[in-house]
């Protein structure tokens, strides 16, 4: 299994604000290579399935509504130590707690509208990439 890949989404808030280009630039300048990328819009069913691990949490409904509220960019990224390095680049879930210079510190509006998603493990990176991209798109 590839351990040098992660999966990301530029969330509806950042896409709508026109921050996709700036975020992709930070991602590339940190050394991540784009493997696959698309603009799409999640239905509430798809957003619910993607974040199913959180379905018992109080914020689940808000999360599903937000993630299906507008277009997103989904992408598979490659770099040594991809999952951990990408989590470091995006910063804490709550932008108020994110380190200076991280994507969420710069672009997130709130803990729910927090600009980007990043996989939390190699296993989930693989699953999440497969949610959006076929085998042929993941070479």
Catalytic positions are: 117
Q: Which of 4, 120, 122, 138 binds ligand ATP (CB under 6 A)?
A: 120
Q: Residue 84, interface with ligand ATP (CB under 6 A)?
A: no
CB atoms closer than 10 angstroms to residue 111: 15
- The rounded distance, in Å, linking the Cα atoms of 93 and 52 is 17
- Shortest Cβ distance from residue 136 to ligand ATP (Å)? 26
CA distances from 45 to 11, 41, 61, 115, 116 (A): 16, 11, 11, 21, 20
Judged by beta carbon distances under 5 to 8 A according to partner kind, the member of Mg ion, ligand ATP, none in contact with residue 118 is: ligand ATP
Q: Which of 13, 14, 27, 117 binds ligand ATP (CB under 6 A)?
A: 117
- Shortest Cβ distance from residue 110 to Mg ion (Å)? 16
Pick out residues in 20-59 that bind Mg ion (CB under 5 A).
Answer: none
Helix ranges (H only) for the chain are 12-16, 20-29, 44-50, 60-67, 82-90, 103-107, 122-132
- The rounded distance, in Å, linking the Cα atoms of 41 and 62 is 16
Judged by beta carbon distances under 5 to 8 A according to partner kind, the member of Mg ion, ligand ATP, none in contact with residue 63 is: ligand ATP
- Shortest Cβ distance from residue 100 to ligand ATP (Å)? 17
Q: Is residue 70 within 8 Å of 15, Cβ to Cβ?
A: yes
Interface positions with Mg ion (CB under 5 A): 120
């Amino acid at each position: 299994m590839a351990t040098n890949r992660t999966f990301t989404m530029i969330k509806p808030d950042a896409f709508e604000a026109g921050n996709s280009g700036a975020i992709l630039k930070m991602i590339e300048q940190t050394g991540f290579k784009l493997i696959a990328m698309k603009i799409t819009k999640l239905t509430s069913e798809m957003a619910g399935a993607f974040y199913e691990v959180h379905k018992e949490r109080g914020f689940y409904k808000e999360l599903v509504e937000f993630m299906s509220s507008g277009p997103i960019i989904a992408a598979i990224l490659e770099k040594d130590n991809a999952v951990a390095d990408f989590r470091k680049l995006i910063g804490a879930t709550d932008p108020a707690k994110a380190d200076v210079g991280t994507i969420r510190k710069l672009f997130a509006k709130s803990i729910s509208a927090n600009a980007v998603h990043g996989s939390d493990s190699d296993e989930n990176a693989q699953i999440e990439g497969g949610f959006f991209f076929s085998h042929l798109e993941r070479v």
